[in-house]
Structure 1
């Protein structure tokens, strides 16, 4: 009887250890909980270029301001998480004649790189301060079933907001092994699921008089819009330590032997 109690205690300890080991993941100073409601949901403050003609490419940069609803002091204490993106090329434009249905821009290509910088210095007027540090994730735009990687509103007029949607695949970075899950957009990506859902909202940057202005330039493209991106992904929890697995299996084996005896 005492042995059975010890076995149950050992199994309980193993379960507690396993649960605690899966509570938080930490990579290069970035901390998040894979058991959180949104798992890995990052929202940023973004600045990007304008596209107007077929062949134009969107470029931009952003500072991650929230991760799973927590501020940078929680998810990246003493550091900052930034993004740079480029390569989204305008490939097609659909203009709606009914003046009710929104026009749409269709893009091909695109990459997003996320960096962890241990010396926070992001300055929205200086794009070079957003691409330094350790490469945390490198994401390639996922081609959807319609052949495009991003669908968005055209450049909005002053006072209006545009939006865009696409999907992303993990292709590199120090945290890459935590996110290669292929769980997003199966029905919309040509029956090949992606690792992240990407959404964006943007509007023209204006001065105090309400006139459009541009902040800087990336890849010879003026940065004239601001907004926010969100990427949502599912991470792979760290495996239970081998010792806990062995302890659990040992306890189960002893329980079975006791029942037989």
Structure 2
């Protein structure tokens, strides 16, 4: 009996430790990265650390046969933040049309595709692997963007002779939900009618490695999250909203995976106790 009690106490202690470890792993933490703004022509020398980039996107989405869709997206970075996305970082990041000489622009062009399904008025979007991501720096903040006629065609630019590519990638997965019944959506013109998240492979160019200097090698995945406006699910539509970006690495287990490992070990301990009893 004493041996059984001791083993039960040990199993409980291990279970508690795993639960604490899983809870810690599930805490929201964004990986840090370092930016060298002095690598951009015209910018002042400045290095900072951040963990998220916030911005705004405009997306052209075309709906096709068999509940398919294609998207073409333009994203303009607005601000770097740190402390798990809570604290703005002073930088020289600017927008198109800025007259401040040391400011520069940071933008991305993205194409992707997937399928959607509807259930009780809510639409679920699922991205399929494929498409392209290109990230650019605009030293003169003078680039103009041209919206494509459909979601299968990439955005084009003018006044972009000074721009240079700093990163590329390919969409790998993603999900989104559009729910017009949300109180923040309304019958028409709703500004918050759902949300989405996606992951994309990511690799820096040689010039990109001069801008994103740490870690080295840099993260190989980017994660995007944002919100939807309300749109009809037919033809070609334009949607816009906020979209944030963080980075990560495929070598690091996701928090949910760590939690599942903890639960699995807990179940194994309980199974052994039953056999011994």
In structure 2, the partner of 1:61 is: 74
What is the Cα deviation at residue 70 of structure 1?
3.6
How far apart, CA to CA, are the structure 2 residues paired with 1:130 and 1:61?
14
What is the Cα deviation at residue 57 of structure 1?
1.0
What is the Cα deviation at residue 24 of structure 1?
5.4
1:114 to 110, 113, 135: 135
For structure 2, the residue ranges without an aligned partner over 5 or more in a row are 1-32, 82-87, 96-101, 148-154, 181-187, 250-277
How many residue pairs get aligned? The number is 174
How far apart, CA to CA, are the structure 2 residues paired with 1:46 and 1:226?
5
In structure 2, the partner of 1:196 is: 222
In structure 2, the partner of 1:171 is: 203
1:85 to 88, 110, 124: 110
C-alpha RMSD of the superposition: 3.7
Alignment of structure 1 residues 63-212 onto 2, 5 Å: 63-68=76-81, 69-70=88-89, 73=92, 77-86=102-111, 88-91=112-115, 93-97=116-120, 102-108=122-128, 109-123=130-144, 127-129=155-157, 132=160, 133-142=163-172, 149-154=173-178, 158-159=189-190, 160-173=192-205, 174-175=207-208, 178=214, 180=217, 195-203=221-229
Corresponding residue SS for 1:81: strand
In the superposition, the TM-score normalised over structure 2's length comes to 0.51
What is the Cα deviation at residue 60 of structure 1?
1.7
In the TM superposition, what whole-angstrom CA distance separates every residue of 1:166-200 from its partner, at most 9, and x where no partner exists?
11221342325756555xxxxxxxxxxx6222112
In the TM superposition, what whole-angstrom CA distance separates every residue of 1:93-139 from its partner, at most 9, and x where no partner exists?
23224x5xx43111112322110111212446665338941101112
CA contact (8 A) 1:84 1:114 kept: yes
CA contact (8 A) 2:94 2:103 kept: no
Corresponding residue SS for 1:120: coil
Seen in structure 2, the aligned counterparts of structure 1 residues 168 and 107 have a Cα distance that, compared at 3 Å, is same
Corresponding residue SS for 2:229: strand
In the superposition, the TM-score normalised over structure 1's length comes to 0.54
Higher fraction of strand: 2
CA contact (8 A) 1:44 1:228 kept: yes
Corresponding residue SS for 2:189: coil
CA contact (8 A) 1:202 1:226 kept: yes
Seen in structure 2, the aligned counterparts of structure 1 residues 158 and 196 have a Cα distance that, compared at 3 Å, is same
Seen in structure 2, the aligned counterparts of structure 1 residues 234 and 171 have a Cα distance that, compared at 3 Å, is closer
How far apart, CA to CA, are the structure 2 residues paired with 1:23 and 1:42?
12
Corresponding residue SS for 1:89: strand
In the TM superposition, what whole-angstrom CA distance separates every residue of 1:54-93 from its partner, at most 9, and x where no partner exists?
343100212111122246635893321111111x1123x2
CA contact (8 A) 2:168 2:204 kept: yes
